[in-house]
């Protein structure tokens, strides 16, 4: 597993340490959660074009799978920035938009100004081959229980696409690298994982070291 680190250190941190850093930066007034989310989404889009430069010129199609928390919020930022770059973007939300945390809700609303959001159930019968990029923004460091079967099945159907995990694939524990659902171990190919500030243990340990594929660490100014 390669980590290309733009922040100068590949030392891993825990999800608690990451949350504490984010909260301290926000509490200091140096930055807002919304600014951190925008930087995270921008970092994901940068990493996509760095990893697959051939995608820069064409107007491509992407699917963004957004979850009920701030990882989903990052996904709505990615959707907006790709659409602004001329891509055709479809977003799907797992959960209730009305229950999104504030920063994610802002980015959900911002995205609504540019495109629709479908319920994740629509993905159950999706033809994925026509989408070169699928962004997994379902769960990040807040994942705290096994992935529901219906979400696992959707992610399994995307194995042949260029897959981009926001922060961490939604079936990997960010603190242990354990798989949070039955998942084939060989699936690191055409998988890009874009995380923020520092790699997490889940990117370099246990099964996470395989299934995270190429891990890129983006600085979000913490």
**Nearest distance from residue 58's CB to K ion, in Å?**
25
CA nearest neighbour of 38 among 70, 7, 68, 83: 70
Q: Is 96 left (phi over 0), alpha (psi -120 to 50) or beta?
A: beta
Residue 118, helix vs strand vs coil: strand
136 binding ligand LP7C6HRI? (CB under 6 A): no
**Does 73 appear as a known binding residue?**
yes
**Does 160 appear as a known binding residue?**
no
Q: What's the rounded Cα separation, in Å, for the pair 194 and 98?
A: 27
Which of 38, 74, 136, 207 binds K ion (CB under 5 A)? It is 136
- The alpha-carbon radius of gyration of the chain (Å, integer) is 16
Task: Specify the stretch interacting with K ion by CB under 5 A; choose among 14-22, 89-97, 113-121, 134-142.
Answer: 134-142
Nearer to K ion, 170 or 210 (CB): 170
Which 62-121 positions form the footprint of ligand LP7C6HRI (CB under 6 A)? 67-72, 74, 101, 103
**Nearest distance from residue 73's CB to ligand LP7C6HRI, in Å?**
7
Q: What's the rounded Cα separation, in Å, for the pair 12 and 203?
A: 9
Which of 166, 172, 179, 192 binds ligand LP7C6HRI (CB under 6 A)? It is 166
Q: What's the rounded Cα separation, in Å, for the pair 210 and 160?
A: 16
Which 165-194 positions form the footprint of K ion (CB under 5 A)? 165-166, 170
Binding partner of residue 187 among K ion, ligand LP7C6HRI, none, CB under 5 to 8 Å per kind? none
- CA angle centred on 168, ends 82 and 208, rounded to 5°: 140
**Does 103 appear as a known binding residue?**
no
Which position has the token pair 């990052």?
74
Q: What's the rounded Cα separation, in Å, for the pair 211 and 189?
A: 8
Instruction: Please name the helix (run of DSSP H) or strand (run of DSSP E) that holds residue 38, with its range, or none.
Output: helix 33-51
Q: What's the rounded Cα separation, in Å, for the pair 85 and 125?
A: 28
**Does 199 appear as a known binding residue?**
no
**Does 175 appear as a known binding residue?**
no
Which residues form the interface with K ion (CB under 5 A)?
A: 136, 165-166, 170
Which residues form the interface with ligand LP7C6HRI (CB under 6 A)?
A: 22, 33, 36-37, 40, 67-72, 74, 101, 103, 139-148, 166-167, 196
Q: Which residues are documented as binding site? A: 70-74, 136, 140-146, 167, 170
């Amino acid at each position: 597993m390669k980590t290309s680190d733009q922040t100068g250190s590949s030392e891993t941190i825990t999800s608690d340490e990451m949350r504490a850093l984010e909260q301290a930066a926000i509490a200091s007034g140096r930055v807002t959660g919304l600014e951190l989310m925008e930087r995270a989404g921008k970092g994901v889009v940068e990493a996509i074009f760095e990893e697959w430069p051939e995608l820069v010129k064409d107007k491509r199609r992407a699917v963004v799978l957004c979850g009920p928390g701030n990882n989903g919020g990052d996904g709505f930022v990615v959707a907006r920035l790709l659409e602004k770059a001329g891509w055709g973007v479809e977003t799907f939300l797992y959960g209730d938009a009305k229950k999104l945390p504030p920063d994610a809700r802002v980015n959900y609303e911002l995205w609504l100004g540019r495109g629709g959001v479908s319920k994740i159930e629509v993905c159950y019968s999706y033809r994925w081959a026509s989408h070169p990029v699928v962004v997994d923004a379902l769960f990040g460091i807040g994942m705290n229980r096994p992935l529901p079967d219906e979400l696992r099945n959707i992610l399994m159907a995307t194995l042949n696409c260029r897959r981009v995990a926001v922060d961490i694939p939604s079936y990997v524990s960010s603190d242990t690298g354990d798989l949070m659902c039955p998942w084939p171990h060989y699936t690191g190919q055409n998988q890009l994982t874009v995380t923020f500030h520092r790699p997490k243990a889940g990117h370099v340990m246990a099964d996470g070291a395989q299934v995270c594929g190429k891990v890129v660490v983006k600085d979000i100014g913490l």
